[in-house]
Amino acid sequence: EVQFVESGGGLVQAGGSLRLSCAASGFTFDDYAIGWFRQAPGKEREGVSCISSSDGSTYYADSVKGRFTASRDNAKNTATLQMNSLKPEDTAVYYCAQCRREVYSGLVEYEYDHWGQGTRVTVSS
């Protein structure tokens, strides 16, 4: 059974930092791209990052580019999301998942599969 366990969320002031962690099990971790997405109340799910299984290349949403850094440790089956310069609009539940790049009518989209329970991030202004 594919499982993800996210941790590290919390309450932080704007401009602060948090480091999210993800432990994965139930599949061959280094065969899959791993990413993070977030869900804020009343908003659509937003893909945040997706780091490849092969060359470490990473997609970042424009909204987090330059502030967030995703990484993975294939030896430990873990992933992290370092979040700096946090903004109130980053408030959401963050999920770790398998991710994949798809192209629909010429547009690149990132899809996420098999996520955990999520970890809540609240950024106060």
**pLDDT tens digits for range 66-105:** 999 999 999 999 999 999 999 999 999 999 999 999 999 9
Query: pLDDT confidence of 110, banded at 50, 70, 90?
Result: very high
DSSP reduced 3-state for 47: strand
Q: How much of the chain exceeds pLDDT 70, in percent? A: 100
98, 113 in Cβ contact below 8 A?
A: yes
User: Is it the case that residue 54 has pLDDT exceeding 90?
Assistant: no
CB crowding 38-73: b at 16 or more within 10 Å, else e: beeeeeeeebbbbbbbeeeebbbbeebeeebbbebe
Is the dihedral angle over the CA atoms 88, 61, 65, 83 positive or is it negative? Answer: positive
Averaged pLDDT, 103-118: 93
